[in-house]
Amino acid sequence: MSKHKLLIIDDSREFTEDLVLMLGDKYEILTADTAEKGLGIVKNTLVSVLLLDLQLPDIHGLDVLEKIHNDVDPYLPVIVVTEYDDMEHVVKAMKLGAHDFLSKDFNLDLLNEKIEQALNQKKLRVRISGLMGNNVLTDDSFVLASEVMKKISYEISRLANLNVDVLLCGETGVGKDMVAAQIFLRSKRKDKPFIPVPIRTLSETLLESELFGHEKGSFTGADKMKPGKFESANQGFVYIPEISNLQESIQLKLLHFMQYKSITRVGHDMRKGEIKLDVRVIMATNENLEELVKDGRIREDFYYRISGVRLNIPPLRERREDIIPLANYFLEKYSSEFGKQGFHLSEQVRNAFLEYEWKGNVRELSNAVKNALIYSANSELSLKDFPDIISRTPYGELNDTENKNDFLIDYREYDFNTKKYYFESLMKYCRGKVSEASKIAGITPQGFRKILKQLGINY
């Protein structure tokens, strides 16, 4: 494993030679006796930590510190080292972003401790930068009952403990996000970052920057260096769903990373060398990759690279033993979320669920249960609470005598009851405050009061 690069900017030859002797076995030491030389090294080399003297022959150390953090690398940890008893300048250095300071009469153990702290701080700052705005994991539990999903669960555990990249294949809504999360949670990296990348929300240029980071000035608006998701996920996972939407340039950079485990930021100066990382990649797709290769949307070499370790998630209709356990799980989850305890599925609903095709898979099942709970006033969810489901099953013929009379009502009456339940629930949630309820509903308070009056709701 390559050593961290430690740069010393100091005009004292004796001091730098002492540090090379003391630290040379642990770090790759770079030295500069002027600010200009030091700035040149920082611009052209991937430095991990900087030891900076404030009293330099050409430029003051405070100006060097500010220039580095503003123009080169805002995440580079700088330890100010000075033999002068100059606390005023030390305080200014800390305000400009210096990690720590030392006088030149330090001991070696203290210096090593501060360098390690600086390296850890940089890792943390890079990770926080990459995690901003991300939902790191799904909050759902991994529910299964079928034999096929038990086999999938075994494969998840096996792959979690292999240091390999993984491709997940399956229809939309089948649970690929959940499987990716399970691989992470069962791995030895579960206490490290897990960073999903929202492919569809980013343009090609932004996606490259999000994944691999960018240097200052590499494009319009790039006013400072920014690490990408891969740097933020070092020692952990990056999860890339919908890989069929990746442009060829991104495919090439991913192919390079998977082969060499190194990246370059957008606008990277190749004189610095590539950034070596330890990141596992999980990718997912709901499309036929072989067809995408034929159509020219996926590069053939990229296809062969990502297909090495492949896990196919079967659709819900091919594992019907999972339907009712999943439905009960979502019922319990949303009942707790909405404060509606004691709800359950009628026998007719359970039978209809087992006959339904679930083309939207687990996601469709989750949404069906959630919507039924929102509008139902009865603790037992019946067929009338799932109109989209029963219209596509034999139960659409309304042969369930239990609920037939309740369901066969005029549409206007059904619409009125649904609206009334919604507004009653909303007023209860807002403790009778029309101003709050109208804001949630997206209606003016005046219009909200008019609807309450029409529905006969007292407030």
Q: Are residues 285 and 176 in the same domain?
A: yes
pLDDT tens by residue, 20-36: 988 888 999 999 999 99
pLDDT at position 226, please? 83
- The alpha helices in 144-275, defined as continuous H runs, are 147-160, 176-185, 204-212, 229-232, 248-260
Q: Are residues 161 and 286 in the same domain?
A: yes
Confidence at 402, pLDDT banded by 50, 70, 90: very low
Q: Are residues 424 and 391 in the same domain?
A: no
Q: Rounded to whole angstroms, how far apart are CA atoms 278 and 1? A: 11
Q: Are residues 263 and 154 in the same domain?
A: yes
pLDDT at position 400, please? 45
Q: In total, how many domains does the chain have?
A: 4
Cβ-contact 432, 422 below 8 angstroms: no
Q: Give Cα separations from 70 to 63, 79, 211, 221, 396 (angstroms).
A: 10, 17, 22, 14, 66
Residue 363 counted as domain residue:
yes
Structural domain including 215 reads: 147-314
Torsion of CA 65, 69, 75, 76, to 10 degrees: -30
Q: Are residues 280 and 346 in the same domain?
A: no
Q: Rounded to whole angstroms, how far apart are CA atoms 170 and 302? A: 19
Q: Are residues 278 and 345 in the same domain?
A: no
Nearest to 241 by CA among 289, 182, 284, 180: 284
114 pLDDT exceeds 90?
A: no
Q: Rounded to whole angstroms, how far apart are CA atoms 327 and 360? A: 14
pLDDT at position 406, please? 47
Q: Are residues 161 and 309 in the same domain?
A: yes
Q: Rounded to whole angstroms, how far apart are CA atoms 309 and 29? A: 40
For residue 431 the two structure tokens come to 């403790």
- SS3 state at 438: helix
Q: Rounded to whole angstroms, how far apart are CA atoms 390 and 394? A: 7
Confidence at 456, pLDDT banded by 50, 70, 90: confident
Residue 193 counted as domain residue:
yes
DSSP letters, 338-354, are HT-TT-EE-HHHHHHHH
Burial 319-333 (b: 16+ CB within 10 A, else e): beebbbebbebbbeb
Q: Are residues 63 and 111 in the same domain?
A: yes
Q: Rounded to whole angstroms, how far apart are CA atoms 362 and 409? A: 31
Dihedral sign, Cα of residue 418, residue 424, residue 430, residue 432:
positive
Mean pLDDT of 42-54: 85
Residue 138 counted as domain residue:
no
3-state DSSP helix/strand/coil percent for the chain, to nearest 5?
Answer: 50, 10, 35
Mean pLDDT of 184-201: 86
- Supply φ then ψ for residue 130, to 5 degrees: -75, -25
pLDDT at position 121, please? 75
126 pLDDT exceeds 90?
A: no
Q: Are residues 332 and 298 in the same domain?
A: no
Last residue of one domain, picked from the residues 314, 349, 375: 314
For residue 328 the two structure tokens come to 């009960």
Mean pLDDT of 283-306: 93
Strands 5-9 and 49-52: what pairing?
A: parallel
Token pair 């013929």 is found at 397
